[in-house]
Amino acid sequence: MKAAIIGQPQSGKSTIFRVLTGSERPAGHRDRTEVGVAEIPDWRVQYLSNLCKPDKTTFARMDVVVLDEGDEQSFLKGVRSSDVLIEVIPAFLIAGFGGGGAADDVTSHFEHVNLTFLVRDLQTVENRLERVRLNKATPINHMEPGFLERCKEALENEIPLRNVKFDPLYDILLKNFDFLTLKPFIFAVNVAEDSLSSPDFPGKQQIEDTARNAQSPVAIFSGPVEEEISRLPEEDRREFLKAYGLDEPGAWRLARITRAHLNLISFFTIGSNEVKAWTIPQGTTALKAAGKIHSDMEKGFIRAEVMAFDDLYRLGSVKAVKENGLYRSEGRDYVVKDGDILLIRFNV
């Protein structure tokens, strides 16, 4: 999973990168893409670690980059290689609460990027249709011309393709063209410190309306507060968060929202050597989950021994789970559920 942080200058992109990954963007190298790794907080992993006392504990992770827009081609290349875009919106910069101008300005960067994506995708569709019409290109399959016409109609009406409901039969075509307007967005709204404990913030209605139209979730954070949290020792964070009426840092919330928006889930492997969270798409089978751990496990798959985290948490031990008949064997076609704990039996 790779998330790209975008937004207008001084919106808080570097802050989000820093608090998610724990690292700085290199000063003076804005033309270079810096990749960081963010852990996705999960109390279940910590519980399993406390229970198993392994040598190593590994949380689910995502790669994070900040994309700058000085070179449009490099920017679009970075967008195409990312799974999700985190649009940082600087609500703290807007003076006043209301007024059409202020509200419009707060989402202007997203509107600009969205329009750029629409234009690029429309060019791609029109060029492909023309090549197919002139027999300069062979359609991928018989459905391609009709599919492209539907895309063209939507894009000409400024409808991003992520807002179009396509038949699953078109999946191969959607993957082949890698359209920009299919990229999902997360709106990370950077508010002033005093807005964290307020039900309102500058430009809120415009942001919520725009996010709803873009089918994008909204995560609220405050850059200065996140910076302070990241510098505090673990034992002091809870009281600091409580003062703002928060249960967790905004960066943690953003990481989880990102994973959920991509329809990803976690399964766990446990043992004395390592407790680890693995990220997979919803609907993944046990066979493919085994391959996520190691290709040999997929090739030589025999069965998956499965228990639910909730059962282990409720009963307190693997032994108790087994005694209650909740530890089971599943075949290659079993669909892994969020929170499953797997032991893969294989032979190569």
Structural domains of the chain in order of their starting residue, each with its CATH number: 2-38+63-96+183-261 (3.40.50.300), 110-182 (1.10.150), 283-346 (3.10.20.30)
CA 184 to chain centroid, in Å, comes to: 8
Q: Can you say whether residue 146 is alpha, beta or left, with left for phi > 0 and alpha for psi between -120 and 50 degrees?
A: alpha
* Tokens matching residue 39: 């852990």
Residue with tokens 């396509």: 166
CA 67 – CA 85 distance, rounded (Å): 10
243 membership: H or E segment, kind and range = helix 234-243
Write the single-letter amino acid at 264: L
CA 320 to chain centroid, in Å, comes to: 35
Share of the chain above pLDDT 90, in %: 68
pLDDT in tens, 285-296: 999 999 999 999
pLDDT in tens, 42-98: 999 999 999 999 999 999 999 999 998 888 999 999 999 999 999 999 998 654 434
The pTM score is 0.87
CA 12 – CA 89 distance, rounded (Å): 8
* Tokens matching residue 42: 């999960």
pLDDT average, residue stretch 256-272: 94
pLDDT average, residue stretch 160-173: 90
pLDDT at 97: 38
Write the single-letter amino acid at 305: E
Reported residue count of the chain is 348
pLDDT at 335: 98
pLDDT average, residue stretch 119-141: 92
Cα 56 to Cα 249, 313, 348, distances in angstroms: 24, 20, 26
Confidence tier at 245 by pLDDT (50, 70, 90) = confident
pLDDT at 102: 44
Q: Taken in order 122, 125, 131, 133, is the CA torsion positive or negative?
A: negative
pLDDT average, residue stretch 122-142: 91
Buried b (16+ CB within 10 A) or exposed e, 226-252: beebeeeeeeebeeebeeeebeebbbb
